[in-house]
A and B are shown apart, each in its own frame.
Chain A
Amino acid sequence: MKYTALCKFELSAASRAEAIIELLDLFPAGEKSRGLLAGALDVREKVGATVVHDSIALPHCRSILVDKLTVVAGKSQTGIPWPEKMVNTVILFVSPVKPNSPQEHNKFLSHIAGKIRKSGDKIVAAGNQDELLDLLGFQHVEQGE
């Protein structure tokens, strides 16, 4: 199964907070909702950074501010301090709050875990957007689609 994802291949963020805001800018949500989502994602990171495979970060949460699973993948050429480790790939996702969404959320986590286990090094080294999304099993959608 391919999940749809937004993507920003050249992140300019120099910090975790900036990276989250830069990726949330692609979200199909208003400014206020994006601000609240940034707060929720920041809380999740503060209680336990979501860095896996050394340089991949997975900021995520479930929120009533989205009505479907929304995924944004990002890549930084210079690296982003997260803050203890440098990361170059960020996969940000927010699942909705619905009766079956814990299962959906867990299924997506399982999908990501499988892709990272299988191709973690390739994901970190992906040279372009299509390669990155393909390795992650994502189908690209443009902002606003």
Chain B
Amino acid sequence: MDKQLEKLISLHDLDVMIADLNRKDIRKRETEMGLHTEGALEELKELREAYCRNIDRKWRGLYNQLTRHYGNAVVPALMGRCAGCLTRLPTAVCSDPERNLKVHTCPTCGRIIYWAD
């Protein structure tokens, strides 16, 4: 898998973690269970900065732009379609066994696409 794509997926999962810990219901539930969430949010935000520094400016800019616009910047391809907007993706890309070796974007919504291995 392309290193930039790996980093973009990890950044996305980290953003989901931050969003979850910002949700009152999930934070309340985790605290009730005895899981310590104090300070976690700040640490995750610091980690996010570190992750971002390791991503090429071009992809980082696109990621941030897509996140602001759609809420999610990276989506899987499902049955040859972008899971974000359901546009059918080019057959040549979908059938390429090396499709994850570069960063692909949806031709319609622009989201970053990956294929589950």
Q: Which residues of A contact B (CB under 8 A)?
A: 29-33, 36, 39-40, 43-44, 46-50, 52-53, 58, 61-65, 67, 97, 102, 105-106, 109-110, 112-113, 116
Interface majority SS on B: helix, strand, loop or mixed? helix
Q: Which residues of B contact A (CB under 8 A)?
A: 1, 6, 9-10, 12-14, 16-17, 20, 23, 25-26, 29-30, 32-37, 39-40, 43-44, 47, 72, 74-76, 78, 100, 114, 116-117
Instruction: A32-B6, A47-B39, A61-B17 given; name 8 further pairs at CB < 8 Å.
Output: A33-B117, A36-B6, A36-B13, A43-B44, A50-B35, A52-B35, A65-B13, A97-B12
Option from A30, A58, A63, A67 in Cβ contact (under 8 Å) with B35: A58
> Do the beta carbons of B33 and A29 come within 8 Å of each other?
no
Which residues from A are CB-within-8-Å of B16? 61-64, 97
- Docked pose: A33 CA to B116 CA in angstroms: 7
- Docked pose: A33 CA to B13 CA in angstroms: 12
> Do the beta carbons of A64 and B44 come within 8 Å of each other?
no
Which residues from A are CB-within-8-Å of B116? 29-30, 33, 65, 67
Can you list 5 residue pairs at the A/B interface with Cβ under 8 Å?
A: A33-B116, A36-B6, A43-B14, A58-B33, A63-B13
- Docked pose: A10 CA to B72 CA in angstroms: 38
> Do the beta carbons of B9 and A109 come within 8 Å of each other?
no
- Docked pose: A97 CA to B12 CA in angstroms: 10
- Docked pose: A16 CA to B78 CA in angstroms: 33
Which residues from A are CB-within-8-Å of B14? 40, 43
> Do the beta carbons of B33 and A116 come within 8 Å of each other?
yes
Which residues from B are CB-within-8-Å of A46? 43
> Do the beta carbons of B76 and A39 come within 8 Å of each other?
no
Which residues from A are CB-within-8-Å of B74? 64
